[in-house]
Chain A
Amino acid sequence: MAAAAPLLSVENLSVEFRTRDGVVKALERVSFEIRRGETVGVVGESGSGKSVTAFSIMRILDPAARITGGRAFFDGVDLMAIRESELESRRGRDLSMIFQNPRTALNPIRQVGRQIGDVLLRHGGVGRGEVRSRAVELLAHVQIPDPERRYWAYPFELSGGMCQRVMIALALACGPALLVADEPTTGLDVTTQAAIMDLIDELAQAKQMATLLITHDLGLAAEHCERIVVMHAGHVVESAPTAELFANPRHPYTAKLVAATPRPGVALDDLAAIPGGLPDLRGDLPACRYSSRCERYAPFCDDPLPVQEPAEGHTVACWKPL
């Protein structure tokens, strides 16, 4: 498995937003890989660039955003370089995405079954006659009770969890190789959260689909991902297999993040908040964007960051790793 070429390989991706009061360097030299069938988590606090990473891969960034450098090879094709029309034929077929808020991600005045049918007709090579039965099948697949009837339901007639199931059915309709899940459970209550995540896991396993799980919940990532990429202020600070990351966090930020994550046997009072906030991403930034919050800061931290590999598959971008 390790020898196989990765399904998605993001290399030195940089994204800027040109705003009225300056250029925001949202992503800088972001690199990571996902292998076929693997689930990779991207974690970090709000504003660390997790969603921008996802949107960049799908190339649905805001018009104010510019991809200023880097490549993202998907199955050998650079997604940043291909034409929009080619991208359109890949979106929904080879790579799909599900969002944070399923309610707004469905067209409010179109029956959910027909929305799934739209994707099938666009990519699935399904004849007009079979679209309906195929869509009902997909609804049943994501464990929606009474799929025949739900086919005709409008999104407002379904609960948030149901809508997310429909979104999943929609995203998986054409059997994509990669699913980008941008905080798929944030808007849902805890029990629904678990059910939805289990569903994604199960379907990903059944179809050998790679999943990029974007979340601010380290616990959720720990439970579902094989590897975790930690982001801070537009940088990838650390990337490691899940167990390794929790056992030996090397980057000071990761260590703080792990310490701030609730887990069994630790009283809530013992959870330490990470001091400081994200730096302003406009203008000149220090080489290490965590330096202003870091207790281990030393003058040489301002030199361009090294990427060290303390263990197999474990990388950390820091001069003074733990």
Chain B
Amino acid sequence: MTAAALRHARYVVTENPITFVAFTMLLILALLGPALAPYDPLKSDTANTLKPPSARHWFGTDQLGRDMLSRVMVATRLDMAIAFSAVALSFAAGSLAGACAGVFGGWTERIVSRISDTIMAFPLFVLAMGIVAALGNSVFNVILATAIINLPFYARMARAEANVRREAGFVEAARLSGNGTMRVLAVHIYPNCLPPMMVQASLNLGWAMLNAAGLAFIGLGVRPPTPEWGILVAEGASFILSGEWWIALFPGLALMLAVFCFNLMGDGLRDLIDPRRRT
């Protein structure tokens, strides 16, 4: 069993090499970023302010002489953490609520659907801004806001998937072999809804990251001098006009690559989760 699982994992990796390499890189940076960074990301160096990329400072330096490469590397952890926890939160809550709505119908379904509809009636980014503003300006609240605005997508998808499977033959068969509603839901319906939802989740990681960076860009959530890609871009934005393009470009590129990687990951994850694709 474990051998088969390992073989399958290797297959998935070799089928999606770019994704794998990019994701591994992100993961390494997230875990070891501070140790790998060549300079202290917070240490200013007044003698070397606004220097363009060079052999000493690959990504150049900012207005306080801080090394941009180090700042971009160290920021990976925070950005990934925000995106992952936000997605995990909305995935867990949304898929559970949605699956229950799809299986039980009636009031459960009405309540879950109306909450989703209400959230989706707002422009999502504005809603996220509002939530962070109302709850307080902290990283946790950014995660919470991102989770809330993504909730409807999971809830609706899980509801639709569970609804289709409620009538499936194997669900009937499971009931016939003596399983109660909750067990049928947990063992038979819910796991069958996961493969399409995993794709949604990995696409969502990209959106969540952009959303968090967007909030930071307008000054919500993470605050300077903490390195975070959205803040780095915001800080660099004012220097683009005067020709110091590197300050905004590199964090922006990092952000773009990460989102791109998550989008590619959707396919790989589906391969990993759905046994029907293991051939």
Contacts and interface: CB of A to CB of B under 8 A. Distances in A.
Contact of B176 (A89, A91, A154, A156): A91
Given A107-B192, A154-B275, A156-B276, A118 B177 contact: yes
Nearest to A170: B177
Contacts of B4: 152
B174 A107 contact: yes
Interface stretch (B138-146, B165-173, B233-241): B165-173
Contacts of A123: 177-178
Interface stretch (A10-18, A98-106, A250-258): A98-106
Contacts of A152: 1, 4
A56 B177 CA distance: 15
Contacts of B172: 60, 99, 105
| Residue picked from B176, B180, B274, most chain A C-beta under 10 Å | B176
A58 interface: yes
Contacts of A58: 176
A98 to B, nearest CB: 8
A96 interface: yes
Interface string B242-264: 00000000000000000000000
Interface string B95-122: 0000000000000000000000000000
A85 B182 CA distance: 12
6 contacts: A85-B180, A107-B187, A108-B192, A108-B276, A109-B192, A170-B177
Contacts of B187: 107, 110, 118
Interface string B152-194: 0000000000000000111011111111100000011001100
B96 to A, nearest CB: 18
A119 B276 CA distance: 23
Closest 4 CB pairs of A and B: A92-B177, A104-B169, A92-B178, A105-B169
A90 interface: yes
A105 B173 CA distance: 6
A235 interface: no
Nearest to A62: B167
Interface in B177-218: 177-180, 187-188, 191-192, 195
Given A107-B188, A108-B192, A152-B4, A91 B173 contact: no
Contacts of A110: 187-188, 191
A232 interface: no
Interface of B: 1, 4, 168-170, 172-180, 187-188, 191-192, 195, 274-276
A104 B170 contact: yes
A252 to B, nearest CB: 36
A122 interface: yes
B277 to A, nearest CB: 10
B274 A109 contact: yes
A88 interface: yes
Given A99-B172, A107-B187, 4 more contacts: A88-B179, A90-B178, A96-B177, A108-B276
A162 interface: no
A25 interface: no
Interface in A95-137: 96-97, 99, 101, 103-110, 118-119, 122-123
A119 B172 CA distance: 14
Given A109-B276, A152-B4, A154-B276, A88 B173 contact: no
A75 to B, nearest CB: 16
Contact of B168 (A89, A92, A104, A170): A104
A317 interface: no
Contacts of B274: 109
Contacts of A108: 170, 192, 275-276
Nearest to A106: B170
Interface string A77-95: 0000000010011111100
A27 interface: no
B175 to A, nearest CB: 6
A167 interface: yes
Given A107-B170, A152-B1, A154-B276, A60 B176 contact: yes
A109 B194 CA distance: 10
B278 to A, nearest CB: 8
Contacts of B188: 107, 110
A96 to B, nearest CB: 7
A222 to B, nearest CB: 27
B192 A99 contact: no
A50 to B, nearest CB: 16
A89 B179 CA distance: 8
A136 B1 CA distance: 15
